[in-house]
Amino acid sequence: MAVLGVLSPFLGGWYFGGLIEGIARAAADAGAAVVAVQTLDAGTDQLELTEPPHPPHPLACDHAAGFVVIVNAASAKYLREIQAGGRPIVVISHEFPELDCPTVFPDNRVGVRAAVEHLIRHGHRRIAFAGFLGALDQQERCETYRRTLRAHGIEPDPDLIFEAADNQEAGGAGAARTMLAAGLPSTAVVAGTDLNAIGILRVLTEAGCRLPEDQAVVGFDDLSDATFTEPRLTTVRQPLFDVGATAARVLLAAIDGTGEPPARHEVATELVVRESCGCPSSVGAAALRAEGKSQHRERTRLQRSLSSQYDISLDLLRSHEEDPRQLGWLRRTSARAGCLGLWTPGEPGLEIAGHFDRSASSPASATPLPPVTASGFPPVEILDEARAEPGSLTFVVPVRVGNRDWGLLATVDRVDLQAATGREPINQWAALLTVALDYQAVLHTLRDQEEQLRASALHDHLTGLPNRTHFLQLLAAAMERGPEVAVLFVDLNDFKQINDTYGHDVGDQILVEVADRLRAELGRHGAAGRFGGDEFLVLLDALDDDHTPEATARRLLSALNRPHRPDGRQLVVTASIGVARAGRTPFADAAALVREADTAMYRAKARRTGVEAGSGTPRR
Protein backbone atom coordinates (compact mmCIF):
# COMPACT_ATOMS: atom_id res chain seq x y z
CA MET A 1 0.00 0.00 0.00
CA ALA A 2 1.37 3.40 -1.01
CA VAL A 3 1.92 6.05 1.64
CA LEU A 4 1.36 9.74 0.88
CA GLY A 5 3.29 12.22 2.97
CA VAL A 6 1.86 15.62 3.88
CA LEU A 7 4.01 18.53 5.01
CA SER A 8 1.93 21.21 6.70
CA PRO A 9 2.58 24.10 9.11
CA PHE A 10 -0.33 22.81 11.23
CA LEU A 11 -2.36 19.61 11.26
CA GLY A 12 -5.92 20.68 12.04
CA GLY A 13 -8.47 23.44 12.00
CA TRP A 14 -10.86 24.44 9.24
CA TYR A 15 -8.12 25.25 6.69
CA PHE A 16 -5.22 22.83 7.19
CA GLY A 17 -7.52 20.16 8.61
CA GLY A 18 -9.92 20.55 5.68
CA LEU A 19 -7.12 20.08 3.17
CA ILE A 20 -5.68 17.08 5.03
CA GLU A 21 -9.14 15.52 5.29
CA GLY A 22 -9.52 15.80 1.51
CA ILE A 23 -6.06 14.28 0.97
CA ALA A 24 -6.85 11.41 3.34
CA ARG A 25 -10.19 10.62 1.67
CA ALA A 26 -8.74 10.58 -1.83
CA ALA A 27 -5.82 8.46 -0.61
CA ALA A 28 -8.18 5.99 1.07
CA ASP A 29 -10.24 5.69 -2.12
CA ALA A 30 -7.02 4.75 -3.93
CA GLY A 31 -5.99 2.28 -1.21
CA ALA A 32 -3.19 4.51 0.07
CA ALA A 33 -2.31 5.63 3.61
CA VAL A 34 -1.35 9.13 4.80
CA VAL A 35 1.27 10.40 7.25
CA ALA A 36 0.92 14.13 7.97
CA VAL A 37 3.95 15.95 9.39
CA GLN A 38 3.79 19.33 11.15
CA THR A 39 6.81 21.40 10.16
CA LEU A 40 6.45 24.11 12.82
CA ASP A 41 7.49 23.69 16.44
CA ALA A 42 5.02 22.31 18.95
CA GLY A 43 2.83 24.94 20.53
CA THR A 44 3.40 27.43 17.71
CA ASP A 45 0.58 29.95 17.61
CA GLN A 46 -1.23 30.84 14.39
CA LEU A 47 1.09 32.94 12.27
CA GLU A 48 1.63 33.92 8.68
CA LEU A 49 4.63 32.14 7.23
CA THR A 50 6.67 34.68 5.31
CA GLU A 51 9.72 32.41 5.36
CA PRO A 52 9.17 28.65 5.06
CA PRO A 53 10.75 26.53 7.81
CA HIS A 54 13.56 24.13 6.98
CA PRO A 55 12.94 20.85 8.86
CA PRO A 56 16.26 19.56 10.23
CA HIS A 57 15.53 15.92 9.33
CA PRO A 58 14.11 14.02 6.32
CA LEU A 59 10.93 13.00 8.14
CA ALA A 60 8.92 9.98 6.93
CA CYS A 61 10.91 9.76 3.69
CA ASP A 62 11.42 6.01 4.08
CA HIS A 63 7.65 5.51 4.04
CA ALA A 64 6.22 8.17 1.75
CA ALA A 65 6.22 7.65 -2.02
CA GLY A 66 5.60 11.38 -2.47
CA PHE A 67 4.52 14.50 -0.60
CA VAL A 68 1.73 17.04 -0.69
CA VAL A 69 3.08 20.37 0.61
CA ILE A 70 0.49 22.76 2.06
CA VAL A 71 1.42 26.40 1.36
CA ASN A 72 5.07 27.08 2.25
CA ALA A 73 5.38 24.35 4.87
CA ALA A 74 9.04 23.67 4.06
CA SER A 75 11.91 25.42 2.34
CA ALA A 76 12.64 24.95 -1.34
CA LYS A 77 15.99 23.39 -0.41
CA TYR A 78 14.26 20.74 1.73
CA LEU A 79 11.76 20.01 -1.04
CA ARG A 80 14.51 19.75 -3.67
CA GLU A 81 16.19 17.12 -1.50
CA ILE A 82 12.93 15.14 -1.43
CA GLN A 83 12.64 15.37 -5.21
CA ALA A 84 16.28 14.31 -5.59
CA GLY A 85 15.36 11.13 -3.72
CA GLY A 86 12.87 10.27 -6.47
CA ARG A 87 9.72 11.35 -4.63
CA PRO A 88 7.31 13.67 -6.46
CA ILE A 89 5.85 16.77 -4.80
CA VAL A 90 2.54 18.60 -5.22
CA VAL A 91 2.13 22.06 -3.64
CA ILE A 92 -1.15 23.56 -2.46
CA SER A 93 -1.74 27.34 -2.65
CA HIS A 94 1.90 28.31 -3.04
CA GLU A 95 4.47 28.49 -5.79
CA PHE A 96 8.17 27.70 -5.46
CA PRO A 97 9.95 29.18 -8.50
CA GLU A 98 12.91 26.89 -7.80
CA LEU A 99 10.80 23.71 -8.11
CA ASP A 100 9.28 22.05 -11.13
CA CYS A 101 6.16 20.50 -9.63
CA PRO A 102 2.35 20.58 -9.96
CA THR A 103 0.37 23.08 -7.88
CA VAL A 104 -3.25 23.10 -6.74
CA PHE A 105 -5.14 26.31 -5.93
CA PRO A 106 -8.71 27.27 -5.17
CA ASP A 107 -9.91 29.34 -8.13
CA ASN A 108 -9.44 32.74 -6.48
CA ARG A 109 -10.36 34.56 -9.69
CA VAL A 110 -13.84 33.06 -10.10
CA GLY A 111 -14.83 33.62 -6.48
CA VAL A 112 -13.50 37.18 -6.13
CA ARG A 113 -14.87 38.20 -9.51
CA ALA A 114 -18.31 36.97 -8.47
CA ALA A 115 -18.05 38.90 -5.17
CA VAL A 116 -17.03 42.20 -6.81
CA GLU A 117 -19.67 41.90 -9.54
CA HIS A 118 -22.31 41.16 -6.90
CA LEU A 119 -21.39 44.39 -5.06
CA ILE A 120 -21.46 46.36 -8.33
CA ARG A 121 -24.97 45.06 -8.98
CA HIS A 122 -25.92 46.49 -5.59
CA GLY A 123 -24.82 49.86 -6.96
CA HIS A 124 -21.43 50.14 -5.25
CA ARG A 125 -18.63 51.99 -7.07
CA ARG A 126 -16.29 52.72 -4.15
CA ILE A 127 -15.32 49.13 -3.36
CA ALA A 128 -12.28 48.52 -1.14
CA PHE A 129 -10.06 45.48 -0.67
CA ALA A 130 -8.65 44.51 2.76
CA GLY A 131 -6.29 41.57 3.19
CA PHE A 132 -2.84 40.23 4.00
CA LEU A 133 -0.84 40.83 0.83
CA GLY A 134 2.12 38.77 2.06
CA ALA A 135 0.31 35.58 0.98
CA LEU A 136 0.13 34.46 -2.65
CA ASP A 137 -3.60 33.66 -2.39
CA GLN A 138 -4.35 37.18 -1.17
CA GLN A 139 -2.24 38.73 -3.90
CA GLU A 140 -4.26 36.83 -6.50
CA ARG A 141 -7.53 37.89 -4.88
CA CYS A 142 -6.46 41.53 -4.78
CA GLU A 143 -5.36 41.46 -8.43
CA THR A 144 -8.67 39.84 -9.46
CA TYR A 145 -10.50 42.58 -7.52
CA ARG A 146 -8.64 45.23 -9.57
CA ARG A 147 -9.24 43.49 -12.90
CA THR A 148 -12.94 43.05 -12.21
CA LEU A 149 -13.37 46.72 -11.39
CA ARG A 150 -11.61 47.71 -14.62
CA ALA A 151 -13.76 45.26 -16.59
CA HIS A 152 -16.78 47.22 -15.36
CA GLY A 153 -15.33 50.62 -16.13
CA ILE A 154 -14.20 51.43 -12.58
CA GLU A 155 -10.58 52.46 -12.14
CA PRO A 156 -9.20 50.90 -8.92
CA ASP A 157 -8.30 53.51 -6.32
CA PRO A 158 -4.99 52.75 -4.53
CA ASP A 159 -6.39 54.53 -1.46
CA LEU A 160 -9.03 51.78 -1.19
CA ILE A 161 -6.47 49.01 -0.66
CA PHE A 162 -6.20 48.39 3.10
CA GLU A 163 -3.45 45.93 3.96
CA ALA A 164 -4.04 43.62 6.92
CA ALA A 165 -1.19 42.44 9.15
CA ASP A 166 -2.28 38.81 8.83
CA ASN A 167 -5.14 36.58 7.69
CA GLN A 168 -6.70 36.55 11.16
CA GLU A 169 -9.47 38.54 12.83
CA ALA A 170 -6.90 40.88 14.36
CA GLY A 171 -5.58 41.71 10.88
CA GLY A 172 -9.08 42.59 9.70
CA ALA A 173 -9.68 44.70 12.80
CA GLY A 174 -6.50 46.65 12.08
CA ALA A 175 -7.55 47.24 8.49
CA ALA A 176 -10.98 48.46 9.67
CA ARG A 177 -9.39 50.99 12.00
CA THR A 178 -7.33 52.28 9.05
CA MET A 179 -10.54 52.55 7.02
CA LEU A 180 -12.19 54.58 9.78
CA ALA A 181 -9.14 56.82 10.14
CA ALA A 182 -9.37 57.56 6.39
CA GLY A 183 -13.00 58.61 6.82
CA LEU A 184 -14.44 55.31 5.57
CA PRO A 185 -13.97 56.25 1.92
CA SER A 186 -15.57 53.05 0.59
CA THR A 187 -19.17 51.85 0.59
CA ALA A 188 -18.23 48.18 0.35
CA VAL A 189 -15.18 46.04 1.06
CA VAL A 190 -13.99 42.64 -0.13
CA ALA A 191 -11.94 40.98 2.60
CA GLY A 192 -9.16 38.50 1.85
CA THR A 193 -10.46 35.98 4.39
CA ASP A 194 -13.57 35.45 6.50
CA LEU A 195 -11.53 36.11 9.64
CA ASN A 196 -10.44 39.46 8.20
CA ALA A 197 -14.10 40.18 7.38
CA ILE A 198 -15.24 39.25 10.90
CA GLY A 199 -12.64 41.64 12.35
CA ILE A 200 -13.92 44.39 10.02
CA LEU A 201 -17.56 43.77 11.01
CA ARG A 202 -16.71 43.96 14.70
CA VAL A 203 -14.68 47.18 14.56
CA LEU A 204 -17.11 49.00 12.27
CA THR A 205 -20.07 47.97 14.42
CA GLU A 206 -18.30 49.16 17.58
CA ALA A 207 -17.65 52.50 15.80
CA GLY A 208 -21.40 52.95 15.28
CA CYS A 209 -21.56 52.08 11.59
CA ARG A 210 -24.78 50.55 10.25
CA LEU A 211 -24.03 47.37 8.33
CA PRO A 212 -24.53 46.80 5.47
CA GLU A 213 -26.01 50.29 4.89
CA ASP A 214 -22.80 52.20 5.66
CA GLN A 215 -20.48 49.45 4.51
CA ALA A 216 -21.20 46.19 2.74
CA VAL A 217 -18.74 43.40 3.59
CA VAL A 218 -17.84 40.21 1.72
CA GLY A 219 -15.39 37.58 2.97
CA PHE A 220 -13.61 34.57 1.52
CA ASP A 221 -13.58 30.98 2.91
CA ASP A 222 -17.17 30.34 4.16
CA LEU A 223 -16.20 29.46 7.71
CA SER A 224 -18.94 28.16 9.99
CA ASP A 225 -18.61 31.43 11.92
CA ALA A 226 -19.84 33.30 8.84
CA THR A 227 -23.41 32.18 9.56
CA PHE A 228 -23.30 33.57 13.11
CA THR A 229 -22.09 37.14 12.49
CA GLU A 230 -24.43 40.12 12.60
CA PRO A 231 -25.24 40.63 9.80
CA ARG A 232 -24.52 37.16 8.46
CA LEU A 233 -21.47 37.21 6.21
CA THR A 234 -21.64 36.93 2.45
CA THR A 235 -18.52 35.03 1.42
CA VAL A 236 -16.75 32.97 -1.21
CA ARG A 237 -16.73 29.27 -0.47
CA GLN A 238 -13.42 27.58 -1.22
CA PRO A 239 -13.88 23.80 -1.19
CA LEU A 240 -10.85 22.83 0.87
CA PHE A 241 -11.82 19.18 0.84
CA ASP A 242 -11.81 19.19 -2.97
CA VAL A 243 -8.52 21.11 -3.09
CA GLY A 244 -6.87 18.49 -0.85
CA ALA A 245 -8.42 15.59 -2.77
CA THR A 246 -7.25 17.08 -6.09
CA ALA A 247 -3.69 17.40 -4.74
CA ALA A 248 -3.76 13.75 -3.59
CA ARG A 249 -4.99 12.52 -6.97
CA VAL A 250 -2.33 14.54 -8.82
CA LEU A 251 0.35 13.09 -6.51
CA LEU A 252 -0.90 9.52 -6.94
CA ALA A 253 -0.76 9.93 -10.71
CA ALA A 254 2.80 11.25 -10.44
CA ILE A 255 3.78 8.28 -8.25
CA ASP A 256 2.41 5.64 -10.63
CA GLY A 257 3.77 7.44 -13.70
CA THR A 258 0.40 8.33 -15.26
CA GLY A 259 0.54 12.03 -14.39
CA GLU A 260 0.82 14.87 -16.86
CA PRO A 261 3.65 17.43 -16.95
CA PRO A 262 3.67 19.80 -13.96
CA ALA A 263 0.82 22.29 -14.23
CA ARG A 264 -1.42 24.51 -12.12
CA HIS A 265 -4.71 22.87 -11.12
CA GLU A 266 -7.62 25.03 -9.94
CA VAL A 267 -10.71 24.03 -7.98
CA ALA A 268 -13.87 26.06 -8.48
CA THR A 269 -15.12 28.46 -5.81
CA GLU A 270 -18.61 29.96 -5.43
CA LEU A 271 -20.22 33.01 -3.88
CA VAL A 272 -22.47 32.34 -0.89
CA VAL A 273 -24.92 35.23 -0.47
CA ARG A 274 -26.14 36.31 2.97
CA GLU A 275 -27.04 39.70 4.44
CA SER A 276 -23.69 41.52 4.87
CA CYS A 277 -23.64 42.51 1.18
CA GLY A 278 -27.06 44.18 1.36
CA CYS A 279 -29.19 41.25 0.24
CA PRO A 280 -32.38 40.64 2.25
CA SER A 281 -32.41 37.85 4.78
CA SER A 282 -33.57 34.51 3.53
CA VAL A 283 -33.35 32.75 6.84
CA GLY A 284 -36.50 30.85 7.64
CA ALA A 285 -37.59 29.02 10.78
CA ALA A 286 -36.06 25.76 9.60
CA ALA A 287 -32.71 27.42 8.97
CA LEU A 288 -32.80 29.07 12.40
CA ARG A 289 -33.48 25.73 14.05
CA ALA A 290 -30.60 24.14 12.11
CA GLU A 291 -28.27 26.94 13.19
CA GLY A 292 -29.39 26.53 16.79
CA LYS A 293 -28.65 22.81 16.68
CA SER A 294 -25.29 23.52 15.14
CA GLN A 295 -24.44 25.97 17.91
CA HIS A 296 -25.52 23.42 20.54
CA ARG A 297 -23.31 20.72 18.98
CA GLU A 298 -20.38 23.13 18.85
CA ARG A 299 -20.85 24.15 22.48
CA THR A 300 -20.99 20.49 23.55
CA ARG A 301 -17.85 19.73 21.53
CA LEU A 302 -16.01 22.65 23.10
CA GLN A 303 -16.98 21.57 26.61
CA ARG A 304 -15.72 18.04 25.97
CA SER A 305 -12.56 19.33 24.34
CA LEU A 306 -11.80 21.70 27.22
CA SER A 307 -12.39 18.94 29.77
CA SER A 308 -10.14 16.54 27.88
CA GLN A 309 -7.36 19.09 27.43
CA TYR A 310 -7.59 20.00 31.13
CA ASP A 311 -7.13 16.35 32.16
CA ILE A 312 -4.26 15.83 29.72
CA SER A 313 -2.56 19.03 30.89
CA LEU A 314 -2.73 17.88 34.51
CA ASP A 315 -1.32 14.48 33.56
CA LEU A 316 1.64 16.08 31.81
CA LEU A 317 2.16 18.63 34.58
CA ARG A 318 2.44 15.69 37.01
CA SER A 319 5.44 14.33 35.13
CA HIS A 320 7.30 13.90 38.43
CA GLU A 321 4.68 11.29 39.44
CA GLU A 322 4.23 9.39 36.17
CA ASP A 323 6.72 9.34 33.31
CA PRO A 324 5.10 11.15 30.35
CA ARG A 325 7.35 9.21 27.98
CA GLN A 326 5.18 6.14 28.54
CA LEU A 327 2.27 8.00 26.85
CA GLY A 328 -0.32 6.80 29.36
CA TRP A 329 -1.95 10.24 29.07
CA LEU A 330 -2.99 9.40 25.49
CA ARG A 331 -5.75 7.23 26.97
CA ARG A 332 -7.64 10.46 27.67
CA THR A 333 -7.58 11.30 23.95
CA SER A 334 -9.26 9.87 20.87
CA ALA A 335 -5.93 8.53 19.54
CA ARG A 336 -5.92 4.86 18.58
CA ALA A 337 -2.15 4.51 18.91
CA GLY A 338 1.00 6.57 19.20
CA CYS A 339 4.70 6.56 19.91
CA LEU A 340 7.36 8.96 21.16
CA GLY A 341 10.76 9.02 19.48
CA LEU A 342 13.57 10.77 21.36
CA TRP A 343 16.84 11.78 19.75
CA THR A 344 19.76 9.61 20.82
CA PRO A 345 22.71 11.84 21.88
CA GLY A 346 25.45 11.67 19.29
CA GLU A 347 23.39 9.45 17.00
CA PRO A 348 21.13 10.28 14.02
CA GLY A 349 18.35 7.94 15.10
CA LEU A 350 15.42 8.01 17.50
CA GLU A 351 14.87 5.78 20.49
CA ILE A 352 11.20 4.84 20.80
CA ALA A 353 10.78 5.84 24.45
CA GLY A 354 7.05 5.18 24.62
CA HIS A 355 4.49 3.21 22.62
CA PHE A 356 0.74 3.68 23.15
CA ASP A 357 -1.68 1.03 21.96
CA ARG A 358 -5.30 1.48 23.03
CA SER A 359 -5.84 -2.28 22.90
CA ALA A 360 -3.06 -2.84 25.45
CA SER A 361 -4.10 -3.14 29.10
CA SER A 362 -1.54 -0.53 30.19
CA PRO A 363 1.23 1.59 28.65
CA ALA A 364 3.80 -0.81 30.08
CA SER A 365 2.19 -3.76 28.27
CA ALA A 366 2.39 -2.11 24.82
CA THR A 367 4.91 -3.88 22.60
CA PRO A 368 8.29 -2.08 22.70
CA LEU A 369 9.39 -0.74 19.33
CA PRO A 370 12.98 -0.73 18.04
CA PRO A 371 14.91 2.48 17.30
CA VAL A 372 14.40 4.12 13.91
CA THR A 373 16.05 6.80 11.82
CA ALA A 374 14.39 10.18 11.31
CA SER A 375 13.44 9.18 7.77
CA GLY A 376 11.96 5.95 9.15
CA PHE A 377 9.77 7.69 11.72
CA PRO A 378 7.01 6.90 12.50
CA PRO A 379 7.64 3.15 12.82
CA VAL A 380 5.73 0.89 10.43
CA GLU A 381 3.74 -0.48 13.39
CA ILE A 382 2.12 2.95 13.82
CA LEU A 383 1.31 3.18 10.12
CA ASP A 384 -0.27 -0.27 10.30
CA GLU A 385 -2.52 0.92 13.15
CA ALA A 386 -3.73 3.78 10.93
CA ARG A 387 -4.43 1.41 8.04
CA ALA A 388 -6.52 -0.79 10.33
CA GLU A 389 -8.91 2.04 11.24
CA PRO A 390 -10.89 3.58 8.34
CA GLY A 391 -10.77 7.36 8.45
CA SER A 392 -7.61 7.44 10.58
CA LEU A 393 -4.22 8.70 9.53
CA THR A 394 -0.84 9.15 11.16
CA PHE A 395 0.17 12.56 12.49
CA VAL A 396 3.73 13.58 13.38
CA VAL A 397 4.59 16.67 15.44
CA PRO A 398 8.05 17.80 16.60
CA VAL A 399 8.47 17.67 20.37
CA ARG A 400 10.36 20.89 20.01
CA VAL A 401 9.87 24.36 21.47
CA GLY A 402 12.50 26.98 20.69
CA ASN A 403 15.95 25.47 21.22
CA ARG A 404 14.64 22.43 23.10
CA ASP A 405 14.32 19.58 20.59
CA TRP A 406 13.46 16.26 22.24
CA GLY A 407 12.22 14.29 19.26
CA LEU A 408 8.93 13.46 17.53
CA LEU A 409 5.44 12.46 18.64
CA ALA A 410 3.29 10.33 16.34
CA THR A 411 -0.40 9.54 16.86
CA VAL A 412 -3.04 7.65 14.91
CA ASP A 413 -6.24 9.70 14.94
CA ARG A 414 -8.83 11.49 12.82
CA VAL A 415 -8.49 15.01 11.49
CA ASP A 416 -9.71 17.72 13.87
CA LEU A 417 -11.56 20.23 11.70
CA GLN A 418 -13.00 22.29 14.54
CA ALA A 419 -9.95 23.46 16.50
CA ALA A 420 -8.60 26.92 15.86
CA THR A 421 -5.41 26.87 13.80
CA GLY A 422 -2.43 26.44 16.09
CA ARG A 423 -4.72 25.09 18.81
CA GLU A 424 -4.98 21.54 17.50
CA PRO A 425 -4.88 19.06 20.40
CA ILE A 426 -1.78 17.24 19.10
CA ASN A 427 0.05 20.55 18.78
CA GLN A 428 -0.72 21.36 22.39
CA TRP A 429 0.11 17.82 23.58
CA ALA A 430 3.54 18.03 21.99
CA ALA A 431 4.17 21.46 23.53
CA LEU A 432 3.14 20.28 27.00
CA LEU A 433 5.20 17.13 26.54
CA THR A 434 8.23 19.26 25.68
CA VAL A 435 7.75 21.25 28.88
CA ALA A 436 7.26 18.04 30.89
CA LEU A 437 10.48 16.55 29.51
CA ASP A 438 12.29 19.83 30.21
CA TYR A 439 10.99 19.68 33.77
CA GLN A 440 12.16 16.10 34.17
CA ALA A 441 15.61 17.05 32.88
CA VAL A 442 15.84 20.00 35.27
CA LEU A 443 14.65 17.83 38.16
CA HIS A 444 17.24 15.19 37.28
CA THR A 445 19.97 17.84 37.13
CA LEU A 446 18.90 19.28 40.49
CA ARG A 447 18.96 15.81 42.05
CA ASP A 448 22.42 15.19 40.62
CA GLN A 449 23.57 18.54 41.99
CA GLU A 450 22.01 17.71 45.34
CA GLU A 451 23.88 14.41 45.42
CA GLN A 452 27.09 16.17 44.45
CA LEU A 453 26.59 18.77 47.19
CA ARG A 454 25.80 16.06 49.71
CA ALA A 455 28.87 14.11 48.66
CA SER A 456 30.96 17.28 48.79
CA ALA A 457 29.70 18.04 52.28
CA LEU A 458 30.60 14.54 53.51
CA HIS A 459 33.77 13.79 51.58
CA ASP A 460 37.24 15.24 51.30
CA HIS A 461 37.54 17.04 47.96
CA LEU A 462 41.16 15.92 47.37
CA THR A 463 41.10 12.21 48.20
CA GLY A 464 37.38 11.44 47.98
CA LEU A 465 37.51 9.81 51.43
CA PRO A 466 34.87 10.57 54.08
CA ASN A 467 35.77 13.79 55.83
CA ARG A 468 36.00 14.23 59.61
CA THR A 469 32.26 14.90 60.05
CA HIS A 470 31.15 11.95 57.92
CA PHE A 471 33.71 9.62 59.47
CA LEU A 472 32.45 10.43 62.98
CA GLN A 473 28.90 9.68 61.77
CA LEU A 474 30.01 6.31 60.37
CA LEU A 475 31.89 5.54 63.56
CA ALA A 476 28.94 6.46 65.80
CA ALA A 477 26.64 4.22 63.75
CA ALA A 478 29.12 1.33 64.00
CA MET A 479 29.41 1.77 67.77
CA GLU A 480 25.63 1.61 68.11
CA ARG A 481 25.64 -1.76 66.34
CA GLY A 482 28.06 -3.27 68.85
CA PRO A 483 31.31 -2.86 70.81
CA GLU A 484 33.57 -4.71 68.37
CA VAL A 485 34.78 -1.51 66.72
CA ALA A 486 38.26 -0.04 66.45
CA VAL A 487 39.75 3.19 65.15
CA LEU A 488 43.19 3.67 63.66
CA PHE A 489 44.64 7.19 63.67
CA VAL A 490 47.23 7.53 60.89
CA ASP A 491 49.69 10.43 60.74
CA LEU A 492 52.42 10.99 58.13
CA ASN A 493 55.74 11.75 59.75
CA ASP A 494 57.47 15.04 58.85
CA PHE A 495 55.01 15.66 56.02
CA LYS A 496 55.43 19.44 56.33
CA GLN A 497 58.97 19.05 55.04
CA ILE A 498 57.59 17.46 51.83
CA ASN A 499 55.36 20.48 51.19
CA ASP A 500 58.12 22.94 52.04
CA THR A 501 60.71 21.21 49.88
CA TYR A 502 58.77 19.99 46.87
CA GLY A 503 55.62 22.13 46.94
CA HIS A 504 51.98 21.45 47.71
CA ASP A 505 51.30 19.85 44.32
CA VAL A 506 53.71 17.04 45.15
CA GLY A 507 52.29 16.87 48.66
CA ASP A 508 48.77 16.52 47.28
CA GLN A 509 49.88 13.71 44.97
CA ILE A 510 51.27 11.83 47.96
CA LEU A 511 48.08 12.37 50.00
CA VAL A 512 45.99 10.96 47.13
CA GLU A 513 48.36 7.99 46.89
CA VAL A 514 48.09 7.41 50.66
CA ALA A 515 44.28 7.36 50.36
CA ASP A 516 44.49 4.87 47.47
CA ARG A 517 46.81 2.59 49.44
CA LEU A 518 44.49 2.67 52.44
CA ARG A 519 41.52 1.71 50.27
CA ALA A 520 43.41 -1.05 48.53
CA GLU A 521 44.82 -2.56 51.73
CA LEU A 522 41.56 -2.40 53.68
CA GLY A 523 39.33 -3.82 50.98
CA ARG A 524 36.10 -4.98 52.62
CA HIS A 525 37.60 -5.05 56.10
CA GLY A 526 37.41 -1.36 56.93
CA ALA A 527 36.79 2.21 55.82
CA ALA A 528 39.26 5.07 55.67
CA GLY A 529 38.63 8.79 56.16
CA ARG A 530 40.67 11.97 56.09
CA PHE A 531 40.83 13.76 59.40
CA GLY A 532 42.61 16.78 57.98
CA GLY A 533 46.04 17.79 56.69
CA ASP A 534 48.25 14.68 56.72
CA GLU A 535 46.06 12.78 59.20
CA PHE A 536 43.81 9.86 58.27
CA LEU A 537 41.37 7.66 60.18
CA VAL A 538 40.45 4.02 59.69
CA LEU A 539 37.24 2.38 60.94
CA LEU A 540 37.35 -1.36 61.62
CA ASP A 541 34.05 -3.05 62.56
CA ALA A 542 34.59 -6.61 61.29
CA LEU A 543 37.17 -7.75 63.83
CA ASP A 544 38.27 -11.36 64.02
CA ASP A 545 41.44 -13.26 64.82
CA ASP A 546 42.85 -12.67 61.32
CA HIS A 547 41.93 -8.99 61.22
CA THR A 548 42.79 -7.57 64.61
CA PRO A 549 43.29 -3.78 64.77
CA GLU A 550 46.97 -4.17 65.58
CA ALA A 551 47.58 -6.61 62.69
CA THR A 552 45.68 -4.37 60.28
CA ALA A 553 47.65 -1.33 61.46
CA ARG A 554 50.96 -3.09 60.74
CA ARG A 555 49.83 -4.11 57.25
CA LEU A 556 48.78 -0.52 56.58
CA LEU A 557 52.09 0.76 57.93
CA SER A 558 53.97 -1.52 55.57
CA ALA A 559 51.92 -0.31 52.62
CA LEU A 560 52.27 3.36 53.53
CA ASN A 561 56.03 3.21 54.08
CA ARG A 562 56.72 2.10 50.51
CA PRO A 563 58.39 4.82 48.42
CA HIS A 564 56.24 7.32 46.51
CA ARG A 565 57.14 8.47 43.00
CA PRO A 566 55.44 11.81 42.31
CA ASP A 567 56.64 13.44 39.08
CA GLY A 568 59.39 10.83 38.67
CA ARG A 569 60.94 11.48 42.11
CA GLN A 570 61.35 8.74 44.70
CA LEU A 571 60.23 9.93 48.13
CA VAL A 572 59.84 7.94 51.32
CA VAL A 573 57.11 9.06 53.70
CA THR A 574 56.67 7.05 56.86
CA ALA A 575 53.61 6.90 59.09
CA SER A 576 52.65 6.48 62.72
CA ILE A 577 49.41 4.74 63.71
CA GLY A 578 47.47 4.81 66.95
CA VAL A 579 44.89 2.11 67.75
CA ALA A 580 41.81 2.42 69.98
CA ARG A 581 39.15 -0.24 70.61
CA ALA A 582 35.58 0.73 71.53
CA GLY A 583 35.15 -2.46 73.53
CA ARG A 584 37.94 -1.38 75.87
CA THR A 585 36.46 2.09 76.40
CA PRO A 586 32.74 1.28 76.91
CA PHE A 587 31.75 4.81 77.90
CA ALA A 588 33.39 6.54 74.94
CA ASP A 589 31.46 8.28 72.14
CA ALA A 590 32.85 8.43 68.61
CA ALA A 591 34.85 11.62 69.24
CA ALA A 592 36.32 10.17 72.44
CA LEU A 593 37.39 7.00 70.65
CA VAL A 594 39.15 9.10 68.00
CA ARG A 595 40.91 11.11 70.72
CA GLU A 596 42.14 7.88 72.28
CA ALA A 597 43.52 6.72 68.91
CA ASP A 598 45.09 10.17 68.46
CA THR A 599 46.84 9.88 71.81
CA ALA A 600 48.12 6.43 70.88
CA MET A 601 49.40 7.77 67.58
CA TYR A 602 51.46 10.47 69.31
CA ARG A 603 52.88 7.82 71.56
CA ALA A 604 53.90 5.78 68.50
CA LYS A 605 55.45 8.86 66.93
CA ALA A 606 57.39 9.72 70.10
CA ARG A 607 58.63 6.17 70.58
CA ARG A 608 59.22 5.63 66.83
CA THR A 609 57.46 2.28 67.11
CA GLY A 610 55.14 2.83 64.13
CA VAL A 611 52.08 1.39 65.89
CA GLU A 612 50.78 1.86 69.46
CA ALA A 613 47.53 0.69 71.06
CA GLY A 614 45.42 2.92 73.29
CA SER A 615 45.49 2.53 77.07
CA GLY A 616 41.81 1.56 77.23
CA THR A 617 40.98 4.30 79.76
CA PRO A 618 37.31 5.38 79.35
CA ARG A 619 36.97 8.95 78.10
CA ARG A 620 33.94 11.26 78.31
Catalytic residues: 534
Residue 501's CB is within 10 A of a number of other CB atoms, namely 10
Residue type at 94 in one-letter notation: H
- DSSP structure string for 272-312: E--TTTTPPP---HHHHHHHHHHHHHHHHHHHHHHHHHHHH
Query: Using an 8 Å Cβ cutoff, are 296 and 330 in contact?
Result: no
Helix (H) or strand (E) holding 235: strand 234-237
Burial class (CB in 10 A: 0-12, 13-18, 19+), 235: buried
Residue type at 445 in one-letter notation: T
Burial class (CB in 10 A: 0-12, 13-18, 19+), 269: buried
Separation CA 36–CA 497 (nearest Å)? 75
Helix (H) or strand (E) holding 81: helix 76-84
Crossing angle between the packed helical segments 590-607 and 468-481, to the nearest 10 degrees: 110
Residue type at 237 in one-letter notation: R
Separation CA 320–CA 439 (nearest Å)? 8
Residue type at 336 in one-letter notation: R
Residue type at 235 in one-letter notation: T
Tell me the HSE value of 78 on the side-chain side, using a 13 A CA sphere: 17
Crossing angle between the packed helical segments 285-317 and 425-458, to the nearest 10 degrees: 10
Residue 366's CB is within 10 A of a number of other CB atoms, namely 22
**Closest listed residue to residue 350, CA positions, set 395, 394, 405, 430:** 405
Helix (H) or strand (E) holding 6: strand 3-8
List residues bridging with 103 in a β-sheet.
Answer: 91, 264
- Collapsing DSSP to helix, strand or coil, 243 comes out as helix
Burial class (CB in 10 A: 0-12, 13-18, 19+), 502: middle
Separation CA 256–CA 65 (nearest Å)? 10
> Strand 404-413 and strand 393-401: pairing?
antiparallel
